[in-house]
Structure 1
Amino acid sequence: MILAPSTTDLFALGAERLLDLATDHAGPFFAYDLGVARERFARLRAALPERVRLAYAVKSNPGLPLLETFSAAGAWFDCASAGEVSAVLAAGGTGRRMVFAGPAKSERDLQAALFAGARVQVDGIEDVARLHTLNTGDEPLEVSVRVNPASGVSEVAAIIGGGGPSAFGVDEEEVAEFVAAARAYDRVRITGLQVFAASNELDAGRLLANHRTALRIGRELAGVLGHGLDLIDLGGGLGVRYAADEPSLDVRALGAGLGRVLTENPWFEGELLLEPGRWLSAPTGVYCARVVRTKVSRGQRFVMLEGGINHLLRPLLTGQSFPTVALRPGVGMLGDGGPADRTGASLVPTTLAGPLCTSLDRVGSGDLPEDLRPGDVVVFGQAGAYAVTQAMSHFLSHPEPEQVWVG
């Protein structure tokens, strides 16, 4: 039994394995396939020029087995808290392959980053001043500065990135003023740049347009500094599809384009850094929750699940549903019309709601089998990123979901 061909890159594992796992776990659970993680990292690494480093964005999924998998593959890591630094070190990562970012870094955060030996990306003169005080070494601390570009691309419901006003970084038009102020702190030296201006972008051409903007800003920054840059961090933004009719990001085209970007910028002799999180982790995971009850209210069909925004918050934040399929123990996949479909049930528009006492508890909508009944399992794909750790896990004190690691 397999998932339908159009959904094989949306759901880790297969229907039969998921049903086995559902039998073994009484409550909602996440399941992750580490084999998918290894394959994704290897595929992206092979598509990129040698001078491009891959820093896994820990925020997308900080699960220790996943961090260990990427560390063993040679990944860098993008961290944004002292906790993430600790997790990466526990997984075998090192500060030499770690960048540290965040718009409001605490003293604890900065101390953790310095202890690990991570490359700090400063967001303003306050970061520079504190690092100047914290640096007790013999040499200036080399840092990168995050620049908020004047324009960029982002997902429709922006979570991070894009142009316009931002809590992140130094506005592009204020870079020269920032550099002048930073010269007063001689125990800190700016030698790198970070630009993050996209999120979940599926078009390689649009990503490359942002990357060319980053190189332009880098050239201007180097001119203001009076010396070259050793690192330009292009941020993340590598997207995954959440619907079968969406395109997949062409990472080969992205890699070839980055090769051209480097050729177009001979002034830059350092390394580029990409911070993929979702692209690496999302396809590794699924979330499984049983149906508790169904109802129709004033013409709208609801399916109530045993887990809601206490486990999956992102659909509420972005308005974008995770892909879903339905399984029935002892039967198999429902409603897809393919070889795994044992019922032939019609698909009907459905709103998926959770168990929380708030009308905000909506975890998606889509076409699901009309005969869904209590005990059936709804499976959410692409749930390896921005899922369990982004959720409202303590709201109403429901149990936290189990996490199962396979492979």
Structure 2
Amino acid sequence: MMFDAEKFISVIHDLAHPDKSLCAYLYDLGALASHARNIKSSLPDRVNFFYAIKANSDLPILSALAEHVDGFEASSGGEIQWVRQNFPDVPLIFSGPGKLDTELELAILNNVTVHIESRFELERLLHIARHYQQPAEILLRVNPHFEDLRATSLMMGGKPTQFGISVEHLSDCLKMVRDNSDCLYFQGFHFHLLSHQLDAAQHLRLLSAYIEQAVKWKEEFNLVIDHINVGGGIGVNYKDIDQQFDWCHFSHGLNNLLIGAAKNIPKIRFEMGRYVSAFCGVYVAEVIDIKTSGNGTYVVVKGGTHHFRTPYAQNHSHPFKVIPVSTWKKPYSRPGLRHGKVNIVGQLCTPKDLLAFDEMVGEIRVGDIVLFSHAGAYAWHISHHDFLRHAHPQHIYLPA
């Protein structure tokens, strides 16, 4: 899905007001639904598509996606409650380390499949399942080491981390599952070693390694497996927005991979987040000051990383577009810059409040609007909203 800023321009001009500085998130729900529908339709029949709501759990976002995905993935008790409150029947899975007993209880009582991260977590889930006399569906998240695993900017496995069960503990966990099969319904394995993958060919090789490993364990331990959860991991290229993950190559390659694999391999399940919702959202902020310091020019916008932490979290200069605002009714001058490099910063009392840096602009003035694209995932939802107690941005959802 390629980003189309023009859809937002007229809405932003309508929102701009001479007496009130603008700061908002805008989401195109029609584009989101279309993107999800295209993802789903391009996947082979043996593949399930879940949405990881940690990327963006706003109710309008989830509602737009619900009919185009096979289920949702939650990573906390709060997310489980949020989904069940609004989507009582949607298939739901529960991932992540450090699950509380209360969260495991919530999962069992709400028919949520649990991805087990450690032997101790498995032991606690078993105890809770027996207490409630309610069987628990589980996958074992395993952290294998693959010799040729190519690193990305965010690695959750393939090396010692807090995620997943170490391979040397797998046999013990499977024995516990087998000895308690009346309470623990083993569904398969969960692999999620990396995120921010931009190379479709590399991701196909990784999935092939996942499948091969799962089939080996299936045969070694004489297992019945319903599916393999391969996580998400597909990234968004914020540094070069015209060069995104090649989904067509990937989906075609995945189909060939499954055709060529052993006929007894289980179903495949994805739980994608960033790649699903990032493209549908923008963060917009009005320019409130422009000043120079040494050789640098700083554009201060209403907002910052407390609203939009993505650039700092990803360590990049975020792509943006300047939207000119022609009206100016203030009784003082209007600072501006033509044809120069700027650093775009927010209102926070820290030099880390940096949204874009060393970027060329044709013209920018106080009162103009800066639109940051690709802000529909891990943006507002990972930000420290109440630092300095600034007002929250508006949240506006463009209907389909």
Q: TM-score, normalised by structure 1?
A: 0.87
Contact 1:304 1:352 in 2 (8 A): yes
Contact 2:96 2:163 in 1 (8 A): yes
Aligned pairs (5 A) from 1:145-224: 145-151=140-146, 152-156=149-153, 158=154, 161-186=156-181, 187-224=183-220
**Consecutive unaligned residues in structure 2, runs of 5 or more:** 328-336
3-state SS of the aligned residue for 1:193? strand
3-state SS of the aligned residue for 2:72? strand
Relative to structure 1, the CA distance from residue 153 to residue 395 in structure 2 (aligned partners, 3 Å threshold; closer, same or farther) is farther
1:42-94 Cα distance to aligned partner (Å, 9 max, x none): 11111110111111010000000111111123431111011111222233253
3-state SS of the aligned residue for 2:206? helix
Relative to structure 1, the CA distance from residue 140 to residue 108 in structure 2 (aligned partners, 3 Å threshold; closer, same or farther) is closer
3-state SS of the aligned residue for 1:30? strand
How far residue 125 of structure 1 moved from its aligned partner, in angstroms, is 0.9
Amino acid at match of 1:172: V
How far residue 34 of structure 1 moved from its aligned partner, in angstroms, is 0.3
3-state SS of the aligned residue for 1:108? helix
The one of 264, 270, 274 aligned to 2:260: 264
The one of 377, 385, 395 aligned to 2:369: 377
Relative to structure 1, the CA distance from residue 375 to residue 139 in structure 2 (aligned partners, 3 Å threshold; closer, same or farther) is closer
Aligned pairs (5 A) from 1:37-56: 37-56=32-51
3-state SS of the aligned residue for 1:372? strand
Amino acid at match of 1:326: V
Amino acid at match of 2:95: A
Query: In 1, distance between residues paired with 2:217 and 2:66?
Result: 32
Query: In 2, distance between residues paired with 1:111 and 1:393?
Result: 30
Relative to structure 1, the CA distance from residue 138 to residue 174 in structure 2 (aligned partners, 3 Å threshold; closer, same or farther) is closer
Aligned pairs (5 A) from 1:3-402: 9=3, 11=5, 13-23=7-17, 26-92=21-87, 94=89, 97-136=91-130, 140-151=135-146, 152-156=149-153, 158=154, 161-186=156-181, 187-244=183-240, 246-266=242-262, 268-330=264-326, 347-369=339-361, 371-402=363-394
User: Structure 1 residues 133-142 or 392-401, which shifts more?
Assistant: 133-142
Contact 2:112 2:137 in 1 (8 A): no
Amino acid at match of 1:202: L
Amino acid at match of 2:24: F
**Consecutive unaligned residues in structure 1, runs of 5 or more:** 1-6, 332-344
Query: In 2, distance between residues paired with 1:108 and 1:278?
Result: 28
Query: In 2, distance between residues paired with 1:257 and 1:53?
Result: 16
Query: In 1, distance between residues paired with 2:5 and 2:104?
Result: 38
Paired positions, count: 385
3-state SS of the aligned residue for 1:14? helix
Query: In 1, distance between residues paired with 2:12 and 2:157?
Result: 37
User: Structure 1 residues 245-254 or 318-327, which shifts more?
Assistant: 245-254
Contact 1:10 1:242 in 2 (8 A): no
Aligned residue for 1:335? none
Relative to structure 1, the CA distance from residue 245 to residue 385 in structure 2 (aligned partners, 3 Å threshold; closer, same or farther) is closer
How far residue 396 of structure 1 moved from its aligned partner, in angstroms, is 0.7
Query: In 2, distance between residues paired with 1:139 and 1:112?
Result: 12
How far residue 324 of structure 1 moved from its aligned partner, in angstroms, is 0.4
Query: In 2, distance between residues paired with 1:12 and 1:118?
Result: 40
Matched, 1:406 2:398: yes
Contact 1:199 1:239 in 2 (8 A): yes
How far residue 192 of structure 1 moved from its aligned partner, in angstroms, is 1.0
Amino acid at match of 2:353: D
Query: In 1, distance between residues paired with 2:73 and 2:133?
Result: 26
Query: In 2, distance between residues paired with 1:364 and 1:221?
Result: 47
Relative to structure 1, the CA distance from residue 259 to residue 12 in structure 2 (aligned partners, 3 Å threshold; closer, same or farther) is farther
How far residue 184 of structure 1 moved from its aligned partner, in angstroms, is 5.0
Contact 1:12 1:286 in 2 (8 A): no
User: Structure 1 residues 301-310 or 84-93, which shifts more?
Assistant: 84-93
Query: In 1, distance between residues paired with 2:338 and 2:169?
Result: 57
Query: In 2, distance between residues paired with 1:358 and 1:60?
Result: 26
1:388-407 Cα distance to aligned partner (Å, 9 max, x none): 11001111111111111111
3-state SS of the aligned residue for 1:349? strand
How far residue 173 of structure 1 moved from its aligned partner, in angstroms, is 4.5
Contact 1:154 1:197 in 2 (8 A): no
Contact 1:10 1:382 in 2 (8 A): no
Contact 2:28 2:280 in 1 (8 A): yes
How far residue 319 of structure 1 moved from its aligned partner, in angstroms, is 0.7
Query: In 1, distance between residues paired with 2:156 and 2:386?
Result: 28
1:206-239 Cα distance to aligned partner (Å, 9 max, x none): 1111111111221132134312210101110122
Relative to structure 1, the CA distance from residue 12 to residue 263 in structure 2 (aligned partners, 3 Å threshold; closer, same or farther) is farther
Amino acid at match of 1:46: S
3-state SS of the aligned residue for 2:49? strand
How far residue 242 of structure 1 moved from its aligned partner, in angstroms, is 1.7
3-state SS of the aligned residue for 2:223? coil
Contact 2:109 2:134 in 1 (8 A): no
Relative to structure 1, the CA distance from residue 226 to residue 22 in structure 2 (aligned partners, 3 Å threshold; closer, same or farther) is farther
How far residue 288 of structure 1 moved from its aligned partner, in angstroms, is 0.5
In angstroms, what is the RMSD of aligned CA positions? 2.4
Query: In 2, distance between residues paired with 1:12 and 1:237?
Result: 29
